[in-house]
Chain A
Amino acid sequence: MDTPVTYHSTAFVPPSGQIAAAPAPQASMEDILQDGALPDARLAMPLQVLEPAHPRVPAPTAVMRRVLVSVIQTVLPLSRGH
């Protein structure tokens, strides 16, 4: 229990201010942005089928409305009579 325990905060206050002085770039910003553009190596990504063209399942909002109506219809006449 008496062993010293070190606490290092991992919290980080968002910094503000200017970019610190950096060595002068050997190229202009435009050149660097151009050199750092994504490489051209295309890959096809076929769209996946997630829902049938003509869905048989009603929209969740419609389902929710139906559930709410059913709940209200059930709860309102709920009597405590035997």
Chain B
Amino acid sequence: MERTATGSRVYGIRAFALLSSIGLGAGAAALFLQFGAADGYQQVDGVRGALVFITTFWLAWGAMQSVVGLLFAAPAPPLRNDPITARTVILMPVYNEDPAIVFARVAAMDEAIAQLELTDKFDFAILSDTQDPQLAAEEERWFVRLWQDRRQDRRKAEGQPARLFYRRRTRNVGRKAGNIQDFFERSGAQYDFALILDADSLMDAATIAEMVRRMQAAPRLGLLQTLPRVTGAGSRFGRAMQFAAGFYSPVFAQGQAAMQGTTGPFWGHNALVRVRAFAASCALPELSGPPPFGGHILSHDYVEAALLARAGWTVRVDPDLDGSYEEGPENMVDFAKRDRRWCQGNLQHARVFPAPGLKPWSRFVFFQGMLSYIVPLFWLLFLAANLYASATAPEPDFFPEPFQLFPVFPSDQTSKAVGVAVGVFGLLVLPKVLILIDATLRGRVRGFGSTILAARGLVRELFMSSVNAPILLMWQTRAVLQVFGGRDGGWPAQTRGDGRLTFSEAAAAGWWIQIWGAAMVGLTYTFAPELMLWVLPVGVPLLIAPFVIWATSHPSQASVFLTPEEHSLPPIIARHRQVMTRWGKASEAVDRDETAPAAQLSA
């Protein structure tokens, strides 16, 4: 069953999205040029026009993915029920994580698989790269607990092979990609498929089984990616992101799926790979030169997807597969840390971009990833160029001709600039509104409480992201400059937990952003006061950055950003909690369920 859209349909959708984005970018640039050149064309107007084109094109490209997702989404295929014959290993890479929580996830998924009577088809391997000796010792103790919990000793006593494995590398060569590669080289020949997870991943057994059936039925399918739902958020920042991921991402993923053809994405986890395809195509070499551009490939997943496609395998995302979960950062500082790693990884793809034999779409995906980190620089340049243009604008000349009797007033083209601003705002808002309408019509909105609750979540998320965006833009800009300056960000372990920050922690993270905000507002006030209203939406969040970072790290009310997983707890998450309770590691938050009328929830 190769159900991937191919051929002219895919090219048609790509052309539609690309040409629409270019058209919108060019339209915005032309409109802006009329405004910028109202007092006579200067070189800086050309620069500003070019920056408007690039930034608007980028926004439009994002918006077009949702439009494509709404217009061209492939219908979900019927669930399969053919017998599972393949042997699959479920890989759980671990790096300095809390072993109790992670190993309980393995226990929960194994229990769910046992309930489907599929244990003889699935093994688990916990692949530790933990470097902290104390955590490593804890891992061994918790593996024993897991082993007993899943009755592996009885299995061994009955002469059956073990199904749960644990191995720790003392040298984490190649980081996660090296960890997975090490497994394949040692034990890969025993399996047909491997489900690659992250330490915070949880997947329903039925979803895992369905993925295996789909891969069995499609012999050229090399990788099948799910769209993981973000769960586990408790902070304002975390729950806003969780809501956005749950509400918008399925549509954006549908858009990606419609455009990707056989060259889909790999996001590094919650994906099934065909072991022999992966082994034959995805061993990553070290790039020449030192990090950040040389050395081990940091964002290996995109490269692995490109290499599978290069070898002729289909790489596919199936957004209809639910029951796939991950966790996200709980505060802006952790988000920025993760983004620093992703930034380096995406920019490093500049080295892989010219690799021989890659599919054009793979190269485009690399380009897109690089652009996503570079575009914020263009926004800042645009702000600076406007400031420069305004500060150096010539005085209006009402009598350009000698002996002129009547004055000539320069035409006011401000409405053109307002038009561009409204258009840009529309590109940010319109996809979200369309998704709300679509979710209402299809009934998907029920999982988010009701149309009104979802709409309120949308408005609040829009407000929060408007405030957060300038601050995140500053972090992103710093990250890009650090990478181009040759600084390696390393591989910090993920921070888990409730993520609450003290004000001094927030101030330590955001003081430099505040200084830039003050400089921006001060320069505008001094040299171009007429631009003040335009600068304030960016300047004010920067000025209060520590407060924003601090406030958004605090717990969110249950009443906002309700997601389907919070509305109805997924069985696999409930099972994970049961295991933790059984293991005596349950926490207070586990029982923080609330019931309230919708009217109260929407308050």
**Residues of chain B with a CB closer than 8 A to A4's CB:** 595-598
* Nearest CB of B to A73, in Å: 13
Q: Are B233 and A59 in contact (CB under 8 A)?
A: no
User: Smallest CB–CB gap between A41 and chain B, Å?
Assistant: 4
Are A80 and B394 interface neighbours, CB within 8 A? yes
The answer to whether residues A21 and B566 also contact, given A5-B601, A33-B166 and a CB cut-off of 8 A, is: no
Check if A38 sits within 8 Å of B558, measured CB to CB: no
Complex CA–CA separation, A26 to B44 (angstroms): 78
Residues A60 and B567 in contact in the complex (CB < 8 Å), given A11-B498, A32-B147? no
Please measure, in the bound complex, the distance between the C-alpha atom of A75 and the C-alpha atom of B44, giving whole angstroms: 8
Question: Which chain A residue has the least Cβ–Cβ distance from B181?
Answer: A45
A24 to B105, CA, bound (A): 22
- Chain A contact residues: helix, strand, loop or mixed: loop
Q: 0/1 per residue, A1-43, Cβ < 8 Å to B?
A: 1111111111111110111111101110100110111111111
Query: Does A10 contact B573, Cβ atoms closer than 8 Å?
Result: yes
Closest to A26 in B: B153
Partner of B580, one of A15, A27, A41: A15
Indicate whether B562 reaches chain A with its CB closer than 8 angstroms: yes
Does A44 lie within 8 Å of B279, measured CB to CB?
Answer: yes
Q: A19-B145, A20-B583, A22-B148 are in contact. Are A47 and B283 (CB under 8 A)?
A: yes
A interface residues, tally (CB under 8 Å): 56
Residues on B with C-beta less than 8 A from A6 are: 567-568, 593-595
Q: How far is the CB of A50 from chain B (nearest CB, A)?
A: 4
Chain B contact-residue range equals: 35 or more
B157: which A residues are within 8 A, CB to CB? 26
Closest to A56 in B: B354
Kindly provide the distance from the CB of A82 to the nearest chain B CB, expressed in whole angstroms.
Answer: 6
Are B233 and A38 within 8 A (Cβ)? no
Report the tally of A-B residue pairs with Cβ distances under 8 A. 238
Q: Determine if B484 and A64 form an interchain contact, defined as CB atoms under 8 angstroms apart.
A: yes
Proximity bits, A43-82, B CB within 8 Å = 1, else 0: 1111111111001010111001000000000000011101
Residues of A within 8 A of B141 (CB): 19, 29
Chain B minimum-CB-distance residue to A68: B484
CB distance from A20 to the nearest CB of B (A): 2
A8 to B185, CA, bound (A): 42
Per the bound structure, the CA–CA distance linking A40 and B596 in Å amounts to 54
Distance to closest chain A CB from B347 (angstroms): 7
Which residues of chain A come closer than 8 Å to B125, judged between CB atoms? 38
CB-CB nearest in chain B for A55: B288
Using A19-B583, A32-B143 as known contacts, say yes or no to A5 and B284 having CB atoms under 8 A apart.
Answer: no
Whether the pair B567, A49 counts as a contact (CB closer than 8 A) is no
Residue of A nearest to B592 (CB): A9
Indicate which residue in B98, B354, B484, B602 contacts A14 across the interface (CB closer than 8 Å): B98
| Of the residues B144, B165, B233, contact of A10 by C-beta under 8 Å | B233
Tell me whether A7 and B593 are in contact (CB under 8 A): yes
Question: Contact at A38–B140, with CB atoms within 8 Å?
Answer: no
Interface residues of B in 301-346 (CB under 8 A from A): 303, 307
Q: Which residues of B contact A48 (CB under 8 A)?
A: 281-285, 307
Contact B188 A5 (CB under 8 A): no
In the bound complex, CA of A1 to CA of B453 (Å): 9
Is B231 interfacial (CB 8 A cutoff)?
A: yes
Q: Which residues of B contact A21 (CB under 8 A)?
A: 584
Given A4-B596, A22-B148, A60-B293: A11 and B283 interface contact (C-beta under 8 Å): no
Q: What is the bound-complex CA distance between A12 and B602, given in angstroms?
A: 24
Distance (whole angstroms) from the CB of A61 to the closest CB of chain B: 6
Instruction: Please report the C-alpha to C-alpha distance between residue A44 and residue B569 in the assembled complex, in whole angstroms.
Output: 42
Q: How far is the CA of A82 from the CA of B596 in the complex (A)?
A: 67
Q: How far is the CA of A36 from the CA of B143 in the complex (A)?
A: 9
Which B residue sits closest to A15, measured CB to CB?
Answer: B585
> Are A29's CB and B140's CB within 8 A?
yes
Contact call A59/B289, Cβ cutoff below 8 A = yes
Shortest Cβ distance from A7 into B: residue: B558
- Are B589 and A39 in contact (CB-based, < 8 A)? no
Check B392–A80 contact: CB distance below 8 A. Answer: yes
Query: Any chain A CB within 8 A of the CB of B459?
Result: no
Chain A residue with Cβ nearest B46: A78
Within 186-201 of B, Cβ neighbours of A (below 8 Å) are at: 186-191
A49-B125 Cα distance, complex, nearest whole Å:
29
Residue with the highest number of chain B CB atoms closer than 10 Å, among A12, A27, A55, A82: A12
* Chain B residues whose CB sits within 8 angstroms of the CB of A52 once the complex forms: 356
Pick the contact of A19: B584, B586, B594 (CB < 8 A). B584
Q: Which of B276, B284, B484 makes the CB contact (< 8 A) with A61?
A: B484
Q: Are B162 and A35 in contact (CB under 8 A)?
A: yes
Question: Is B295 on the interface with A (CB-CB < 8 A)?
Answer: no
Cβ contacts under 8 Å, A51 to chain B:
287-288, 351-352, 354-355
Give the chain B neighbours of A17 by CB distance below 8 A. 584-585
Task: Give the top 9 A-B pairs by smallest Cβ distance, nearest first.
Answer: A20-B584, A11-B234, A43-B188, A41-B190, A45-B283, A41-B189, A13-B587, A15-B585, A10-B231
21 contacts between A and B (CB under 8 A): A1-B599, A3-B598, A5-B597, A5-B601, A6-B593, A7-B594, A7-B601, A9-B589, A11-B498, A18-B584, A19-B100, A33-B166, A39-B187, A40-B186, A41-B187, A45-B184, A45-B283, A78-B44, A78-B47, A79-B43, A80-B44
Residues of B within 8 A of A (CB): 40, 42-44, 47, 98, 100-101, 125, 140-145, 147-149, 152-153, 156-157, 161-162, 164-167, 181, 183-191, 231-234, 238, 275-276, 279-285, 287-289, 293, 303, 307, 347, 350-352, 354-356, 392-394, 449-450, 452-453, 484-486, 496-498, 558-559, 562-563, 565-569, 573, 580, 582-590, 592-599, 601-602
> Apart from A5-B596, A35-B147, A43-B188, what 18 extra A-B contacts exist at CB < 8 Å?
A3-B597, A10-B566, A14-B498, A15-B101, A22-B583, A27-B156, A35-B152, A36-B165, A37-B165, A39-B165, A40-B187, A45-B184, A47-B284, A50-B303, A64-B484, A78-B43, A79-B43, A80-B392
